[in-house]
Amino acid sequence: MIKFEDVFFQYSSSKKTALSNINLEIKEGRWLSVLGKNGSGKSTLMKLIYGQNLATSGKILFNDKEYSKEIYDDIKNKIAIVFQNPDNQFVGSTVEEDIAFGLENRNVPQEKMDEIIGRVLEIVDMTDYRKYEPTSLSGGQKQRVAIASSLALNPEILILDEATSMLDPKAKKSILKYIKKINKEEGITIISITHDAQESVYSDDIVILEDGEIVYKGNYASLYSDTTTLEKYSLEVPFIERIKRDLNNYLNQEIFKIEEDEGSVVKKICKLV
Ligand SMILES: Nc1ncnc2c1ncn2[C@@H]1O[C@H](COP(=O)(O)OP(=O)(O)OP(=O)(O)O)[C@@H](O)[C@H]1O
Ligand SMILES: [Mg+2]
């Protein structure tokens, strides 16, 4: 769906390249997590995918077409991005106007708009805030509205740049589960930047960036069974994987596999008990 070929990027105000030698294929319908320390180039990579910045050298392809001004409108219609800092993202003077703004741009009829706004606010549990000013909301509530606005657009690709970092654990889990559902059922491609090992549980593919370069490319199972890489990049292991590992050690058998999700692990534990 999106392909990076030998991509370099340098901000005009900076002497250093922010991204070097990026070769990456983002496949349709997958969930890709991008991990890496502060300043490693994660947000810059998203800006290139979204077309907000163009590569300094190398090629970025969207469905085999090279990014250019001509296909830019098409890309913008297919990708929704939730930026790291939701404050920079609000355009409407109320929550509902903010969500409506993106829909108006895509010529969604008024009666359909009301229904979509109601539906996405329910997903992020913000129904009661429909008439509120976005500026009057808490950080986590703003993130919820930003996620709702992006879901309303029904994108082909949803980019989450630390989009759930301010959410409480319950809200985070419920929203991520919903996103996983649309990823699986509707084939929406998810690209998520996160510092939270818990969030990476939802991903199929994982890349690690360091100093603007991809230093690891693999899938969920390959990363979390690779202790050398986990230690090298000081990555936290998701709770569910720690439980599986401890139980396997305790039972001295490889009963819980890395591919197994929470539901299957719980069932097995119940049987064992
Ligand atoms: N607008 C900009 N102008 C100049 N340099 C920038 C700009 N934005 C980012 N950079 C630089 O590019 C590099 C990568 O930054 P980027 O924001 O992509 O990192 P990040 O991995 O998203 O970090 P974080 O986890 O802190 O969000 C950093 O060295 C940063 O200082
Ligand atoms: Mg960032």
Please work out whether the CB of residue 44 comes within 6 Å of at least one atom of ligand 1: yes
Distance between Cα 127 and ligand 1 center (Å): 34
Same domain, yes or no: 153 and 243: no
Please work out whether the CB of residue 10 comes within 6 Å of at least one atom of ligand 1: no
Same domain, yes or no: 107 and 223: yes
Continuous segment of H or E residues that includes residue 262: helix 262-272
**DSSP character for 28?**
T
Same domain, yes or no: 197 and 79: yes
Distance between Cα 43 and ligand 1 center (Å): 7
Ligand number, closest to the Cα atom of 17:
1
Q: Rounded CA gap, 134 and 145, in Å?
A: 8
Distance between Cα 194 and ligand 2 center (Å): 9
Same domain, yes or no: 258 and 207: no
User: Atom 7 in ligand 1: which residue has the minimum CA distance?
Assistant: 11
252 residue type, one letter: N
CB 191 within 8 A of CB 34: yes
Same domain, yes or no: 212 and 109: yes
**Three-state SS sequence of 196-246:** CHHHHCCCCEEEEEECCEEEEEEEHHHHHCCHHHHHHCCCCCCHHHHHHHH
Q: 65-66 and 57-62 as β-strands: parallel, antiparallel, unpaired?
A: antiparallel
Same domain, yes or no: 44 and 13: yes
Same domain, yes or no: 85 and 173: yes
User: Atom 29 in ligand 1: which residue has the minimum CA distance?
Assistant: 39
Please work out whether the CB of residue 53 comes within 6 Å of at least one atom of ligand 1: no
Same domain, yes or no: 9 and 119: yes
Ligand number, closest to the Cα atom of 35:
1
Same domain, yes or no: 177 and 267: no
Q: Rounded CA gap, 106 and 136, in Å?
A: 27
**DSSP character for 164?**
T
Distance between Cα 198 and ligand 2 center (Å): 18
Same domain, yes or no: 271 and 233: no
Tens digits of pLDDT across the chain (273 residues) = 999 999 999 999 999 999 999 999 999 999 999 999 999 999 999 999 999 899 999 999 999 999 887 788 888 889 999 988 888 788 889 999 999 999 998 889 988 999 999 999 999 999 999 999 999 999 999 999 999 999 999 999 999 999 999 999 999 999 999 999 999 999 999 999 998 888 899 999 999 999 999 999 999 999 999 999 999 999 999 989 999 999 999 999 999 998 888 889 999 999 988
The closest-lying atom of ligand 1 relative to the alpha carbon of residue 41 is: 18
Same domain, yes or no: 169 and 242: no
**Number of domains making up the chain:** 2
CB 122 within 8 A of CB 115: no
Residue range of the domain that includes 264: 238-273
The closest-lying atom of ligand 1 relative to the alpha carbon of residue 195 is: 25
